[in-house]
């Protein structure tokens, strides 16, 4: 992934693992902002290859026009806002089954071991 060249040695075999689940743990707004920027950088590369992604959360933590600074067309991301954590997890699981998506981003407050296993099996 050319967009991740500065970080390539941080990943196993100097390659960002695709087709895997990545978890970012954020304890405050600053960490969430940094993680969102990193995710947007990854999305920029993934979406140039094959199109559309989905972002599932309970809040409007992303300002879609700001994605343009990462060379991401905001209209190529489907934003889903749900209030219930159970609904968010179900939507993530179902989205991971869709082969036409470049990426699935899901924001949840607390990921239990059981929920993480279900998501891993869905992908």
User: Following DSSP, what letter does each residue of 92-114 receive, concatenated?
Assistant: HHHHHT-TTEEEEEE--S---HH
- How far from 77 is each of 10, 13, 40, 44, CA to CA, in Å? 27, 29, 11, 11
* pLDDT at position 116: 80
Q: Which residue's entry shows tokens 């992908």?
A: 123
Q: Mean per-residue pLDDT for 11-25?
A: 79
The CATH fold of domain 23-122: Rossmann fold (3.40.50)
More confident residue, 45 or 36: 36
- Over the stretch 52-94, which tens digit does the pLDDT of each residue have? 999 999 887 788 888 898 888 888 999 999 999 899 999 999 9
Region 26-32: mean pLDDT is 89
pTM of the model as a whole? 0.80
pLDDT value, residue 118: 80
CA dihedral 104, 107, 112, 116 (to 10 degrees): 10
């Amino acid at each position: 992934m050319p967009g991740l060249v500065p970080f390539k040695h941080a990943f196993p075999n100097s390659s960002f693992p695709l087709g895997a689940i990545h978890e970012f743990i954020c304890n405050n707004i600053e960490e969430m902002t940094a993680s969102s920027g990193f995710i947007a950088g990854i999305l920029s590369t993934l979406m140039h290859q094959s199109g559309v992604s989905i972002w599932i959360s309970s809040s409007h933590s992303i300002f879609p026009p700001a994605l343009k600074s990462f060379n991401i067309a905001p209209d190529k991301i489907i934003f889903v806002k749900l209030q219930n954590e159970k609904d968010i997890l179900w939507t993530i699981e179902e989205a991971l089954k869709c082969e036409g998506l470049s990426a699935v981003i899901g924001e949840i407050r607390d990921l239990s071991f059981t929920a993480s296993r279900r998501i891993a099996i869905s992908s």
